[in-house]
Structure 1
Amino acid sequence: MTDQYGRKIKYLRLSVTDLCSCRCVYCMGAEGVPKLPHEAVLSFEEIEEIVCAAVSLGVRKVRLTGGEPLVRRGIDELVRRLRAIEGIRELAMTTNGARLAEYAERLKSAGLDRLNISLDTLDPEKYRKITRIGSLSDTLAGLDAARSAGFTRIKLNAVLMGGVNDDEIPALAELARDGTFDVRFIELMPIGECADWDRKRFIPAERVLEVLPKVQRVPSDGVAELWRPEGWKGTVGLIRPLSHRFCADCDRIRITPDGMLKPCLHSAREIPLRGKHGEALVCAIAEGIGGKPKEHHITDGRTSDSLRGMNRIGG
């Protein structure tokens, strides 16, 4: 299905929980978040029904997010159920990697195709400060487990923060040299916990190209601009929602853990899906796609209009 601006919407990012095993400073407060009541979170049956409806409208890629999706009990069973839906070409997950040592083989066996793993620093102490309660060693063990399980072209996501991890750009990018990983640098967005941060924290991803050796642009079919330093097998990607707004190419919708469809990450508009079935559910999703805004406005010096932080939407 195409939206009113001619964009073909084929990508669904679906949050399966608002809970997380970390409390990253740009995502949630030090005390964490109020836990949604169990009955407020979409059941596996509801998720399966929603995904089937979205696929009937042309969605072909589904990404499971959180919070942290691996804290959701039975997540591998959900992967297995979604993998069985005809029409899904790619089933992916974004995770902080802390529980991958336990889950990687189970996820691969269940049919998960791709993994994106959050990794903002390679410094153990800095990792602890950014995540507040996380351990770098757990995430690194998760990377090893993912490779051993047979996952390939794993993407590592690093949120760029001026004065925090911009000094590690070369070291993080280096993980892409042999092609085991592809590294993505993501511009920090003024949403939720970091909406009022000092503007010095919000640095353009162009900084990455300034510190890497000779790089060449390579083709991409997503929102990330891909670059490859000379002699490297992997790619370094730039995701630039602020400095180079990519709304014209946005092909995604999002669904929150409590069943609200967000046509745009930075819009306040949410469409309830719970309680809808059959044609009514398909029509509600179609309404969201049809009403997807042309662009967001955070590049105009405004903070996000979203009523939720990232942990309540899905990264």
Structure 2
Amino acid sequence: MRCFYCLSGDLLQLKPRDEILTLEEIEEVCVAAAQCGVNYIRFTGGEPLVRQGIIDLIERVGRIEGVRKLGLSTNASHLAEVLDPLHRAGVRNLNISLDSLRTDRFAQITRGGKLKPTFDGILAAVAHGGFTIKLNCVMMRGFNEDELPELAALTLKYPLSVRFIEYMPMGQWQREKAIRNMGANIADGADDEFRAFGGHTAATEFLRKTPQEQMYSIEEMKRDLAARFELEETQDRPDGAGPARYFRIRGARGFIGVISPVFNPFCENCNRIRLTSDGRLKSCLLHDEKYHVKKLLRSEGYSRDKLVAVIREAIWNKPEKHEFSRNFDMSTVGG
């Protein structure tokens, strides 16, 4: 998948193998993080399920002393065939990206991705019954906001959470770069069907809009949902200490969550750090500050105590608030 709001730059460039962390190095960072009090580890991407050896890594991380919870963020296109191994490895939480239930629009958002494998993966996870499932839906005015009721109605049929997320506008430089390269970033396997739907045209038109025209706030979403459904407040938190605020449709099997990084940031309650594939430790997903642990891991004088100290420094120096207006691709930080 090459979602236009995540991968806005040039063609997706895979890093040389020696530039990304080995599975053993990732495990070592997890061990050190657990010594700092981290007890929930979630594997994200890109798409983590395409990484060779990922399930063995997850299983090893799950055995680390202090780690009590494992999660996975995925586009679900490869999920159905690995649900049993993931569950045996200890994964209990699945975050799945789903911004549209329309085949054509899904293809436009993902630059040629196909909806069926993703939705089949979601249904297989529901049928498995061993996972807490959260669908993450980035809502964009003038692009997919008309699907808000249909996406919310999934909670009436399935025992899962649908989380609506405000679209974060790109900086001017990043937006121009995205428009310039939109046609080049088409997913492998995209076919004539994708081009018949207009290809990247709709996404390009969306990116040309001003941030004010693109933004669809959480308060507007709640207002529009209340006009269609009878909503109930709930004290339940399907994601524990995560950033979403939850409510539900009366009689629903699942929950609706809202995440507002723009109009109502959740920074003061954020307790997360992020390890990128190339060995940078970020104390905030939307902040430039990063700690380069790969160099430390590969240094002659490496010790776990040194790594623990770096992780503690990153946690201690978490910024007061994010800087979402900066120019960067979410794909580079595992967004």
Normalising by structure 2, we get a TM-score of: 0.81
Matching residue within 238, 241, 265 for 1:245: 265
C-alpha deviation, 1:180, in angstroms: 1.7
SS in 2 for 1:114: strand
Report the aligned-residue RMSD. 1.9
Matching residue within 306, 311, 318 for 1:292: 318
Matching residue within 295, 304, 307 for 2:326: 304
The one-letter amino acid paired with 1:216 is E
Number of residues of Structure 1 aligned to a counterpart in Structure 2 = 288
Deviation track 1:165-200 (CA, whole Å, cap 9, x = no partner) reads 100000001111245211000111235899534311
The one-letter amino acid paired with 1:312 is T
Alignment-derived partner of residue 11 in structure 1: none
Matching residue within 152, 155, 161 for 1:182: 161
Alignment-derived partner of residue 253 in structure 2: 233
Map 1:43-122; keep pairs closer than 5 Å: 43-122=22-101
Deviating beyond 4 angstroms after TM superposition, the runs of 4 or more aligned structure 1 residues are: 191-195
The one-letter amino acid paired with 1:36 is K
Write 1 or 2 for the structure with the bigger share of helix.
2
Q: Select the structure with the greater relative contact order (CA < 8 A; seq sep ≥ 6).
A: 1
Cα distance, 1:115–1:281 mapped onto 2, change above 3 Å: same
Map 1:103-252; keep pairs closer than 5 Å: 103-191=82-170, 195-196=174-175, 197=207, 198-199=210-211, 200-212=213-225, 213-219=229-235, 220=237, 221-252=241-272
CA distance in 1, matches of 2:291, 2:29: 13
Please tell me whether Structure 1 or Structure 2 has the larger radius of gyration of its CA atoms.
Answer: 2
CA distance in 2, matches of 1:186, 1:238: 6
C-alpha deviation, 1:304, in angstroms: 2.6
Alignment-derived partner of residue 13 in structure 1: none
CA distance in 2, matches of 1:50, 1:192: 32
Deviation track 1:50-100 (CA, whole Å, cap 9, x = no partner) reads 001111111111110001111111211111111111211210011001111
SS in 2 for 1:113: strand
| Structure 1 range deviating more: 143-152 or 46-55 | 143-152
SS in 2 for 1:52: helix
- Say if 2:160 and 2:253, in contact at 8 Å, map to a contact too: no
C-alpha deviation, 1:148, in angstroms: 3.5
Cα distance, 1:228–1:148 mapped onto 2, change above 3 Å: closer
C-alpha deviation, 1:113, in angstroms: 1.3
The one-letter amino acid paired with 1:137 is K
Question: Is 1:313 the counterpart of 2:333 in the alignment?
Answer: yes
SS in 1 for 2:134: strand
Cα distance, 1:85–1:119 mapped onto 2, change above 3 Å: same
Cα distance, 1:254–1:292 mapped onto 2, change above 3 Å: same
SS in 2 for 1:177: helix
The percentage of aligned residue pairs carrying the same residue is 40
User: Structure 2: any 5+ residue segments left out of the alignment?
Assistant: 176-206, 298-302
CA distance in 2, matches of 1:192, 1:71: 30
Cα distance, 1:48–1:192 mapped onto 2, change above 3 Å: farther
- Say if 2:126 and 2:158, in contact at 8 Å, map to a contact too: no
User: Structure 1: any 5+ residue segments left out of the alignment?
Assistant: 1-21
The one-letter amino acid paired with 2:232 is Q
SS in 1 for 2:104: helix
C-alpha deviation, 1:46, in angstroms: 0.5
C-alpha deviation, 1:35, in angstroms: 1.1
- Say if 1:191 and 1:310, in contact at 8 Å, map to a contact too: no
The one-letter amino acid paired with 2:279 is G
| Structure 1 range deviating more: 262-271 or 212-221 | 212-221
Cα distance, 1:60–1:32 mapped onto 2, change above 3 Å: same
